[in-house]
Amino acid sequence: PILVSLVHKEKGSMHMLDPSGDKDAKLELDECKEKITANLQRDIDWREMNEEDRERMVGPPHLTAMRDALAEVGNPRKTLKMIYETMGSLIEQLEEMLGMIGSGDEMRIEGGEGLKGESDDDQALSGVKLYKGETLLELTERWRFIYKRLYDPDEDRFDLSRIPDVHDNVRFDVLHNPHLGLTSTLEKLYSLAKGMADCVVPQEYGTTLAEK
């Protein structure tokens, strides 16, 4: 954060930089992401894939870590559907908790470390402690945002670029919000998301050495 604060961007100065390299790099990154999105949502099991299928999905044989990850995932399409369904279940549970709190009852605890009800005796509300003052509504909206962008029902298409977001967010909540009483759902989602992230993240800048 200290180093970031020392970097100052002048709007006028930025115009003097040659943007052509950035455009070329962005085009290549977009092509990589599109390839990942197309390949890693196929409804095919690892055991049924031939070598061409495996190389298309996670690259050449020497990329053993990604191949191991895909073998763990099994069928990427089914895993993506399970991720989506588990996220839906998580959001339903969060919305149920919000309903119990009520729109007029949500208040920050002094110091900003969670929520409480109107009464100090309201154990159900005072027990919901969220990390760094995030409210239950904000947490729910965070998951709704990713959920809506992960899958397009009209196109019947998953956006694989959202998988790292799912993984990062569920890891955050597993570590910092275990007291929500959603451990079972969060741990299931983490396991599914981590497997897919292990396939997606290493390929975001290319599969082959030439692409990287």
Dist. CA 160–CA 79, nearest whole Å: 12
Q: Which amino acid is at 208?
A: T
How sure is the predictor about 141, in pLDDT bands with cuts at 50, 70 and 90? very high
Q: Which amino acid is at 170?
A: V
Considering only CA atoms, which of 160, 164, 140 is closest in space to residue 151?
160
Dist. CA 125–CA 130, nearest whole Å: 11
pLDDT (0 to 100) of residue 70: 87
* Residue 15 or residue 123, greater confidence: 15
Lowest mean pLDDT among 52-66, 102-116, 151-165, 177-191: 102-116
23-41 residue pLDDT tens: 766 777 777 777 778 888 8
What does the pLDDT average to over 108-126?
Answer: 41
Beta bridge partners of 152: 157
42-93 residue pLDDT tens: 898 988 888 888 888 877 888 788 888 889 999 999 999 999 999 999 999 9
Beta bridge partners of 115: 108
Annotate 185-207 with DSSP letters as a single string.
Answer: HHHHHHHHHHHHHHHHGGGTT-S
Q: Please determine, for residue 116, whether its predicted confidence score (pLDDT) is greater than 50.
A: no
How sure is the predictor about 113, in pLDDT bands with cuts at 50, 70 and 90? very low
Q: Please determine, for residue 210, whether its predicted confidence score (pLDDT) is greater than 70.
A: no
- Whole-model pTM? 0.73
pLDDT (0 to 100) of residue 109: 39
Q: Please determine, for residue 146, whether its predicted confidence score (pLDDT) is greater than 70.
A: yes
pLDDT (0 to 100) of residue 8: 52
pLDDT (0 to 100) of residue 139: 94
- Summary mean pLDDT of the chain: 79
Under DSSP, the state recorded for 3 is H
SS3 (DSSP) at 115: strand
pLDDT (0 to 100) of residue 66: 83
